[in-house]
Chain A
Amino acid sequence: MSNDRMSTEPFGDRRQFLSHMSSGLTGVALTQLLGPASSMAGTTHPHAFQHPPRAKRVLQIFCPGAASHVDLWDHRPMLEKYHGTPLPGAEGEVSFQGKNGNLMKSPWPFLPAGQSGKMISSMLPNIAQHVDDIAFIHSMTSRSNTHGPGCIFMNSCFTREGFPAAGAWVSYALGSLNENLPTYVAIQDVRGEPPNGKANWSNGFLPAQYQAVAMSAQQPLRNLATPKSIGADQEQATREFLRVANAEHARQRAGQDALLARMEAYELAAKMQLSAPEVSDLSRELQSTHDRYGTNDRNPLKAAYARNCLLSRRFLEQGVRYVALYCASRASAVDGLLNWDAHKTLKADYERHCPIFDQPTAALLTDLKQTGLLDDTLVLWCTEFGRMPTHQDGTSGRDHNPDAFTTWMMGAGIRGGVSYGATDEFGRRSVENVATPYDFYATVLHLLGLDHQQLTYYHNGANRRLTDVHGHVLHDILA
């Protein structure tokens, strides 16, 4: 199936198109059942590749809570120099939570890494080893300064709920690579859902089959397992009964494709029951692999995230099209406890979060590279917005900053070791080659062989796009 999808014809064939008419999973199987008598002759596949794709699948790593660009990725030497003095022209500025104090340098030094000498926070020594493969986008901007809307903006390009996440668009456009597994998987952190929860991987107004299936190392796919009270032979007998009864029912109703599609869905469900536990079974990995990821780390939060990293690799290997992996969760009664939202105590908070994030993520990137998966896997790192270069009045943390943040991409079709765009000397605002999530996803779709202006879906009066009415491909970061 994947080969079919990877054709480079300007328009896909009818079979591809028809496969979207049913579940993205039943795909080709149903199309064969439909036979030639369909009334769809003459229509064309809307999502066929507009150009040869560089990437087949996507891994999106999301650090919710607004991970600070000036403390992780975006080295601003002037911040060190002017530490403790007012931000010129913006003294006492009021942002999300209130007044801001003076400029505050990052609590940790930045160090050069890789051949490119990219300056990166010393809190991320393992990820630093990958900078030569990464294209940093330092000039991101958001349309919201609030976590929930910010997260869904970064995921769907809209600040309100109800729009499909990028993963849903990709599933809709490209379908499945392995029909025995979900096409789009959201792996949430052991600490809970990200801000705005399930809206981050929603199908929005796209049909339900394009939503992410939420599962993780700590939470298997719901309803996957046959109940314990039902033995394998009983399950077999039940399925046989259903097959016989449904076949006779369908036989009397020739031409009703839905009935056949539904029978096919039961067959696929059975296959999924075999494949999903297998792919989720981390015990099949070598002990040395577990050690590299840190799945048995003394810090239970790091160990849990490491297991999810390992699970991500296994999903990607087995043909899950889009994996959204979360490191940290929602806002809590204490800022910065459950996620990267360091309002009050940046140093303490990030000294908890960085070690959870660094080693497992780096191990995952290493594996993707070594196995060759990175050749056609696009890796994205996202957060919802950035943080102020100043400290929040009366605290040693930073408030929200929608005017500047960093994201990065790596892998299929990406030019490594580059830094695109820039913030001003303090990191307060993006000033050079200012970029948006629209541009970000225009680029992602481009690498998947899709034109972001052509991938549309009609909903309540508009032909909706992932990139709304904006977006430009960031050609400078393409290989």
Chain B
Amino acid sequence: MPARGREHDPRDVMRSVLDYNEFSRPRTSFLKHTTMSRLAILARLLSISIALLCLVGQADRGDADERAQRAFFEQKIRPVLVEHCYQCHAATAQPIQGGLRLDSQAGWQAGGDSTEPAVVPGNPDESPLIQAVRYRDGLEMPPDGKLSSAIVADLERWVRDGAFDPRDETPIEIHRADKSWWSLQPLPKLEAQSEDADPKNGSKIIDALVARQLAQQGLARNPPADARTLIRRMNYDVIGLPPTLEEVRDFTSQYASDPQAATQQLVERLLASPHYGEQWGRHWLDVVRFGESIGFERNVIINDAWPFRDYVINSLNADKPFNQFIREHLAGDVIAPHQPEVVVGSTFLVAGPYDDVGNQDVVAQASIRAATLDDIITATSGAFLGLTINCARCHYHKFDPIPSEDYYRLRAAFEGVRHGRRVVATEEQLQQHSQAIEPLRAEQAAVQAELQKLEAGIEQRASAELARLTYPRPKIDPQWTEETFTPISARWVKLVLKASTDNPNSAVGSKLVEVQVWAADPSPRNVALQSTGAKASGARGAVAEDFPAAYGPQLTIDGQFGAQWFVGHPAELTIELAEASTIERIAFSNAKGIDIQDQSQGATPCEYEMQVSGDGENWQVVADSYQREPWSPTHGVARLRAQVTTEAETKELQQLRTQLAGIQARIDAIPPLAVVWVGIREQPSEPTRLNIGGDPMKLGDVVLPSSLSVLDQTTATYALASDALEGERRLALANWIAADDNPLTVRVLANRVWQYHFGSAIVDTPSDFGFLGSLPTHPELLDWLAGQLLANGWRLKPLHRQILLSETYRQSSVYREQPASIDKDSRLLWRFPPRRLSAEELRDTMLLVSGNLQGTIPLATSIPNEDQTLAAGPGFRLYKLTENNVSSYLPLDVHGPETYRRAVYHQNARASVVDLLADFDFPDVAFAAPKRSSTTTPLQALTLLNHRFTLDMAQSLADRAEQSVVPGNPEALIDSMYELVLQRAARPDELAAAKPLLNKYGAAALARGLLNLNEVLYVE
């Protein structure tokens, strides 16, 4: 169990235990409170002695009886109460109408403001609840309409039978936050600070605030870490890669003479490294649920979302003010529609999964659209505000002061956003492109018009000819078409297919279910059957890689009217019979339906020649379709075209087509404008309305695109008209979220920064600052950090600097029994909490130390120019993608050199479980992953020992070490490998352990072992 808080959170357990009693507040200080509440319930229950005695009497009736009563209550009563009563008569109601609660036995026993019990067990006629639902005696409940008589009868039966109610654990007290909740309060005012203030001052404040909390527990922080530990820690933390041996040596020697100066220099160098953006960008991509396939059933890959990944990396490297970064996420396309580097930020909106299966059911369509917008709302409120506004979709938030209206206010902002891709370009690019392409398009249109004119003439003549002709045979029947001919001996039969019912010029893309070849025996039999040894071959027009038999030609001779052969190119089906036979009849069918006429099986071949052969080389035509009535007039015209076309026309046609191809080639040569997955925007036609109970078919009042009421005490409000322009809505929301007076945004951000430095955050539920989230371990520190962000103009790097230079950060990770007995996970930071590498860090490290890591950014860390930006391009893939209606992602066994890039450049398709990443807790990006788990499993061991990637890296590492030392010196070789992997020489005991492995099995064997060492996987 890693000592950091990333592991399975013990507080989850606490919560679960508390949940048992539906007391959801997971904090020790509340344990006492809840106990008292239970006493209160008890006292109340005792006071209602008569009702209680009734119940006891019934409980005695035996198990079977109770089971029946329980079943009745659960099936008939509870659902009715939940659906029709809880909205006004439960702990969660706002307010509780008449003080009456029907969500617990105690509730109806206590009655409402009238204090008269709402239910008198055994006596429906005396029970106010029953009187109310009968709609007879003045009080009519529920107010929006009488319940069905069946439900009323159920309720009456329930009361008559004693009103069995198992809901006795529900507390009377309401546990929830209101607007006085800590995270909703304004930040304390901070004295103005000059831009170039000494970061050391800030570090001292951090240390003081941490030390104060420690002292309260009688604890103190560890002494400083040694130089090698510190540089390894900082390297991984800031850029996600280990230092080189030289970097460790240089730092160690500088540190020996002046630790402060050496550390400061190191911090500056790392923060200036372009790898900083890769590492911290990866963190951010987790927070904003960025994935590169659409998820759900079809899970189609998205190949043009990567510009967002580069945008994130570049923005962090440039230390773009985070309020600007947030605004670009929500409204980049509104702020600067012709600046691609800004527009791309709004990919955030459509970076989540969505269901694109074409559903014809209207209700389902509405609910899919609602779910799509819900993803955007959830992602926005979690990433920036640390609020679970999504919990208010169906009802007033159960724990936080968030009315359902707030949810629909966000929805109003995003109502016009749809998933998809479009051109993203500068005005200049657009202009240049249209200048280049428009003349060509005009030229193309002119030639096409000429071609069409010519074709029209030919077709007219063909039509006239068609009208003159009569065909003696009927048109083909997709259900069953057969040809009979003079018996002939054949071993091979070939169907040459020339047109289909959909396409008069080709049969490619059409389908066939079955083909039969009948022998001219006294008792006729079909000799074209796989089961009797026939073989069918022919190109197929579709493949399912993971199911090779699908759509194949063999399906035409499987004897079943089921699966279809998809006709490919060339459109020919060859059947080899088991033995030469005298045949006289060939039939084909595209009918899958037998009982009911079926028009939905796609196109059927309709122009054909049937050929036979005895040797498979010389073919004889035995039947064709040419005397049949054409499938359609168009088919007839196509058949006669060649006949009526003059030589001159043929030549001219040829010429025009050549000309068109030339124009097309010139059009293709124009560099296309960039198309990016930033989503499509459309002006909503209707105002946004509340969905009652979250049901998109039950519309309530209009909700305006406006600020959220949850923060109306602290943050300046706004409200737009219900028909406000789509872009304005998002821009207004973006400005409100990224406002200096929004206390949540900046607190949430400061907390995330702290989390990635120390492994656990001050608020350990980083996307939930509400009632169910954790309370801050260091509230003052959090506010101070947030204040620093504001003072620094929302730039992260000054804050990183202050944290990295603090003594708190630089202390050692040495374990001590006494503080561990009080604070095992070091949430109070008595030691630096060690952590396991993330999946990406591990893979990047293996690539780096083996000398294989390729980068779009030069690996030598250097200070980039202000405007140096990255264009890393499409990501690499560690899976094989197969697409057949839906997409499947199969992990690769061999990772080629084209994948030797940092894992942040992996094209992260949803639900693509890539062993090396997924085993080490790389999250599936169905949701935001603001906090990763850090597990230890045998599968990790298997992958890291046995995957070909480890073997390849081990081999390179061995080669690299062998090249750097004089041959024949095993100790030097071992040292060299330790230095490459761990930036230190091997100790004597390690030399002793490594030598047998090296001597007997070679350097690659040792390298495989080294890459599996705990010391590689843990940074401390």
A interface list, Cβ under 8 A from B: 17, 20-23, 25-26, 30, 34, 37-40, 43-47, 94-98, 101, 104, 107, 144-149, 159-162, 190-193, 195-199, 202, 204-205, 207-209, 213-214, 221-227, 229-230, 234, 237-238, 240-242, 244-246, 248-250, 253-259, 261-263, 265-266, 268-269, 272-273, 300, 329-334, 337-338, 344-345, 347-349, 351-352, 391, 394-397, 433, 454-458, 460-463, 472-473, 475-476
Contacts and interface: CB of A to CB of B under 8 A. Distances in A.
B1014 A249 contact: yes
Contacts of A455: 16
A197 B299 contact: yes
A87 B389 CA distance: 43
A289 to B, nearest CB: 27
Nearest to A199: B911
B885 A192 contact: no
B542 interface: yes
Contact of A257 (B3, B357, B1012): B3
B13 A44 contact: yes
A227 B1000 CA distance: 18
Interface in B901-923: 910-911, 913, 915, 918-919, 921
A69 B1006 CA distance: 59
B924 A329 contact: no
Given A222-B891, A458-B15, A433 B75 contact: yes
A334 B563 contact: yes
B946 interface: yes
5 contacts: A17-B13, A39-B821, A46-B12, A190-B547, A238-B1008
A160 B296 CA distance: 7
Given A39-B820, A94-B360, A458-B9, A197 B888 contact: yes
Contacts of A94: 360-362
A21 B1 contact: yes
Which of B390, B544, B921, B989 counts the most chain A CB atoms within 10 A? B544
Residue of B821, B822, B939 most packed against chain A (CB within 10 A): B939
Given A347-B594, A460-B388, A21 B7 contact: yes
B43 to A, nearest CB: 25
B598 A227 contact: no
Contact of B933 (A38, A192, A208): A208
Q: Which 10 A-B pairs have the closest CB atoms?
A: A148-B297, A461-B388, A162-B926, A46-B16, A255-B815, A348-B562, A39-B824, A269-B941, A345-B592, A396-B593
A230 B954 CA distance: 13
Contacts of A207: 7-8, 921, 933, 935
A209 B935 contact: yes
Interface stretch (B50-58, B407-415, B990-998): B990-998
Given A21-B7, A196-B297, A266-B941, A146 B997 contact: no
Contacts of A352: 560, 562-563
B421 to A, nearest CB: 22
Given A22-B935, A198-B913, 10 more contacts: A160-B371, A245-B990, A246-B1014, A332-B544, A333-B544, A334-B550, A396-B594, A458-B765, A460-B767, A461-B388
Interface in B58-77: 67, 70-71, 74-75
B398 to A, nearest CB: 9
Contacts of A461: 382, 387-388, 390-391, 765, 767-768, 770, 772-773
A213 to B, nearest CB: 7
Given A161-B295, A348-B561, A457 B770 contact: no
Interface stretch (B17-25, B256-264, B666-674, B962-970): B17-25
B1017 interface: yes
B80 interface: no
Contacts of B594: 347-348, 396
Nearest to A210: B935
B598 A344 contact: yes
B243 to A, nearest CB: 19
A96 B1012 contact: no
Contacts of A25: 937-938
B88 to A, nearest CB: 18
Contacts of B1012: 242, 266
B110 to A, nearest CB: 23
A18 to B, nearest CB: 8
Interface residues of B, number: 137
Contacts of B84: none
Contacts of B921: 207-208
Given A145-B361, A345-B592, A348-B561, A196 B938 contact: no
B936 A23 contact: yes
B359 A146 contact: yes
B360 A95 contact: yes
Contacts of B948: 227
A224 B562 contact: no
Interface in B583-619: 592-601
A249 B566 CA distance: 62
Contacts of A149: 296-297, 355
A437 B242 CA distance: 48
Given A43-B13, A244-B993, A454 B936 contact: no
A160 B71 CA distance: 30
Nearest to A41: B821
Nearest to B1001: A234
B355 A22 contact: no
Contacts of A227: 946, 948, 951
Contacts of B933: 207-208
A257 B547 CA distance: 46
B1013 A242 contact: yes
B564 interface: yes
Interface string B695-720: 00000000000000000000000000
Contacts of B198: none
Contact of A460 (B768, B910, B1009, B1017): B768
